[in-house]
Amino acid sequence: MDGVIARTPEEVKEILLIRRRIDGNGCWLWTGSTSHGYGYISFQGYPHRVHRLAAHLWLGFDLASKLCVLHKDDCNRRCFNPDHLRIGTQSENIGEWRARKLSG
């Protein structure tokens, strides 16, 4: 987790914005620690995927929710641009993954 521990929403927002690289598609790519392609950061004592944390901070997503935070248009897993994220179900997430596998 890069040893970075964000304690407040304001601190984690600042860290996320500092640790991003914007690519040609407008993706905000996390430049810190990753696991399985997803960015990770510690927040309030727990590790969180960066895109879920971004959805929490910018879109009001409840981190305790069983819903998923999906990347629109299959953008990079490290992307946490709120405009590239949407809330969905696990079934939608699996369906989109299968569709990508079949088309790729």
State pLDDT tens for residues 91-104.
998 998 888 878 76
Q: The domain that contains 48 carries what CATH number?
A: 3.90.75
65-89 average pLDDT score: 93
Lowest mean pLDDT among 59-63, 66-70, 73-77, 78-82: 73-77
52-76 average pLDDT score: 93
Beta strands 38-43; 5-6: pairing state: parallel
Asked whether the predicted pLDDT for residue 19 surpasses 50, the reply is yes
Range of the domain at 14: 5-103
The domain total for the chain is 1
31-59 average pLDDT score: 93
Residue corresponding to tokens 């997503």: 61
Contact 63, 48 (CB under 8 A): yes
Packed helices 50-59 and 9-18: angle between N→C axes, nearest 10 degrees? 120
Asked whether the predicted pLDDT for residue 2 surpasses 70, the reply is no
Quote the percentage of the chain above a pLDDT of 90.
67
Contact 41, 33 (CB under 8 A): yes
- For the chain, give the mean pLDDT: 90
Strands (E) in the chain, as ranges, are: 5-6, 20-22, 28-30, 34-35, 38-43, 46-49, 68-71, 85-88
3-state secondary structure of 73: helix
Asked whether the predicted pLDDT for residue 88 surpasses 90, the reply is yes
Please give the pLDDT value at position 61.
Answer: 97
CA dist., res. 49 & res. 68, Å (int): 11
